[in-house]
Amino acid sequence: MRVLLVYPEFKVTFWGWKYLLRIIGKRAAFPPLGLLTVAAMLPESWEKKLVDLNVCKLTDEDIRWANYVFVGAMITQNDSTQEVLKRCERMEIPVVMGGPILEKGCEEFPSVRHFLLGEVENIMPQFLNDLALYRAKKVYLSPPNTFPDMSASPIPLWGLINPRYYASMLVQFVRGCPYKCEFCAVANLNGRTPRAKLPKQFLRELDALYKTGFRGGIMVADDNFIGNKAKVKAMLLRLVGWQITHKYPYEFTVEADITLADDEDLMDLMVKAGFKKVFLGLETPNKESLIECGKTQNVNRDMCADVKKIHNHGLVTLSGFIFGFDHDGPDIFKQHIEFYRKTGIIFPMLSMLQASKGSLLYKKMEEEGRLQEQASGNNTDCRPNFACKMPVGTLVQGYKDVLKTVYSPREYYERIRVFLREYNTTKKVARKVTASDVSLFFSSVWRIGIFGGFRTSFYYWRTLSLAFFKHRRAFSEAVTFWVYRLHFWRFAKNNNS
């Protein structure tokens, strides 16, 4: 049996890092972790090939080679997915499909032979057994409220990709999130009881990744990394030793909730284990909107002080913010800008509220008769899919104004200045300067310091001077921030055109 695994192309989004990739010489931000995991569950005797359309083109020869094509995708990859399906249909190659894109409904993909809905560890064994007996069904659905033990998840087949094409690798430790935010479908998809891999299992995955030769950043693709703090701490204690033994080859980025600020031991342990950035779902500085969307963990606490505390423990925060809640008034745009200034969050990732299928918000909008279309999966495309309380024109223009403002050179510099005052560099793990670091620095000098335009170049050099003379241990972070801004500013400009 020959299986071709295909990962469709992403549209340009805030999180795709397309403009940044050109600077650092990479083809894609992350590898297709889901498909690599699926590949590891297929019989060892099968021939397997993976084509990531974000990295290379899919040829007709690739498709003809296969007995089956496995496609895994997210909603924002829909256009590319449809094109792949058409090509497979023309060549009469059967397709097996899974992933979050199926939230749109299986009827959207009539040419697909088999659908795998839900966590694949639950359904792949039955599908493979039925396939071998020539009785495979159209749809395989993970039993409701039944979630697989994470120990059943195999080590991804890293040998199917070239890690050098990617800016960062992906690994996973925990699935599920204890919270039930109204706009998020995670609780419905992966449950509210966080399930973790065994520490030795997680380290075996890092061993496999290490053998590929990849060194650099790794995104831990968890719904909420600290959903089960006891299990996370047990793993981190082992990871510290692994990193020391391997001379810290990796820097990790995770997604967590704001209660991270309540656990100083956990933050210190994360830094010792090589964690660098934490993505926080802060969503909005408006308390009424937080209550509205069920973001209970963010209510009745000083989020600004929490962010500063996290910075003070040697972690860099990124954060997602959302516009379009019913309780967002005309002053909401100003509130957001002021909040970013106070906290020193360098990368506020701005999105517009969408009601995704499977979320409580979707159900609410449906019941209230406000749902207008299915979510696009790209919540930066300025297309809310339900009737908002704020006039859509006002909402869209306000969103674009905030985006353009916060990534303007002066605003960006001011947030870096606030961040550097709070960032505790004494806690971070020292690592050797690499050839990539040197290359990135000179690239930033050329692209930003010399040819970035007067205002951008002025604040770039001002930042580097500030870092060199007052915050020297954070100099590399200061350079990296401005390289990242090239992506954000280009995205902001294109979104305002």
Name the domain count of the chain: 3
Residues 218 and 323 placed together within one structural domain of the fold:
yes
Is 428 a member of any domain?
A: no
pLDDT value, residue 143? 83
Is 222 a member of any domain?
A: yes
Query: What are the two backbone dihedrals, phi and then psi, of residue 119, each rounded to the nearest 5 degrees?
Result: -70, 125
Give CA–CA dist 486/492, Å, rounded: 10
Residues 217 and 90 placed together within one structural domain of the fold:
no
Neighbours of 389 (CB within 10 A): 12
Is 41 a member of any domain?
A: yes
Is 72 a member of any domain?
A: yes
Is 44 a member of any domain?
A: yes
Q: Mean pLDDT over residues 253-273, rounded?
A: 97
Sorting pLDDT into bands at 50, 70 and 90, what band is 307?
A: very high
pLDDT value, residue 300? 93
3-state SS string over the chain?
A: CEEEEEECCCCCCCCCCHHHHHHHCCCECCCCHHHHHHHHHCCCCCEEEEEECCCCCCCHHHHHHCCEEEEECCHHHHHHHHHHHHHHHHCCCCEEEECHHHHHCHHHCCCCCEEEECCHHHHHHHHHHHHHCCCCCCEEECCCCCCCCHHHCCCCCHHHCCHHHECEEEECCEECCCCCCCCCCHHHHHCCCCEECCHHHHHHHHHHHHHCCCCEEEEECCCCCCCCHHHHHHHHHHHHHHHHHCCCCEEEEEEECHHHHHCHHHHHHHHHCCEEEEEEEEECCCHHHHHHCCCHHHCCCCHHHHHHHHHHCCCEEEEEEEECCCCCCCCHHHHHHHHHHHHCCCEEEEEECCCCCCCHHHHHHHHCCCECCCCCCCCCCCCCCECCCCCHHHHHHHHHHHHHHHCCHHHHHHHHHHHHHHCCCCCCCCCCCCHHHHHHHHHHHHHHHHCCCHHHHHHHHHHHHHHHHHCHHHHHHHHHHHHHHHHHHHHHHHHHC
Looking only at the bridges linking them, the beta strands covering 2-7 and 168-171 are unpaired
CATH number, domain of 134, equals 3.40.50
CATH number, domain of 408, equals 3.80.30.20
Q: Mean pLDDT over residues 356-379, rounded?
A: 92
Most confidently modeled of 18-22, 142-146, 461-465?
A: 461-465
Sorting pLDDT into bands at 50, 70 and 90, what band is 16?
A: low
Q: Would you say residue 144 has pLDDT above 90? A: no
Residues 290 and 407 placed together within one structural domain of the fold:
yes
Q: What is the pTM of this model?
A: 0.94
Q: Would you say residue 496 has pLDDT above 90? A: no
**pLDDT tens, residue by residue, 408-461:** 999 999 999 999 999 999 888 877 788 888 988 999 999 999 999 999 999 999
Sorting pLDDT into bands at 50, 70 and 90, what band is 15?
A: low
pLDDT value, residue 14? 65
Residues 111 and 195 placed together within one structural domain of the fold:
no
Last residue of a domain, one of 422, 450, 477: 422
Give CA–CA dist 310/261, Å, rounded: 6
Residues 368 and 302 placed together within one structural domain of the fold:
yes
Is 154 a member of any domain?
A: yes
Residues 230 and 202 placed together within one structural domain of the fold:
yes
Residues 224 and 343 placed together within one structural domain of the fold:
yes
Q: Mean pLDDT over residues 36-59, rounded?
A: 97
Residues 228 and 302 placed together within one structural domain of the fold:
yes
Q: Would you say residue 13 has pLDDT above 80? A: no
Percent above pLDDT 90 for the chain: 85
Last residue of a domain, one of 119, 141, 163: 141
Is 461 a member of any domain?
A: yes
Nearest to 172, CA basis, from 201, 192, 145: 201
State both tokens at 52: 């990531």
Residues 266 and 365 placed together within one structural domain of the fold:
yes
Site of tokens 């050797």: 432
Give CA–CA dist 83/360, Å, rounded: 31
Residues 312 and 258 placed together within one structural domain of the fold:
yes
Is 370 a member of any domain?
A: yes
Which residue range is the domain that position 486 belongs to? 435-496
**pLDDT tens, residue by residue, 149-160:** 998 899 999 999
Last residue of a domain, one of 124, 141, 158: 141
Residues 118 and 259 placed together within one structural domain of the fold:
no
Cβ pair 307, 285 in contact under 8 A: no
State both tokens at 125: 């064994």
The mean pLDDT value of the chain amounts to 94
Residues 287 and 174 placed together within one structural domain of the fold:
yes
pLDDT value, residue 112? 98
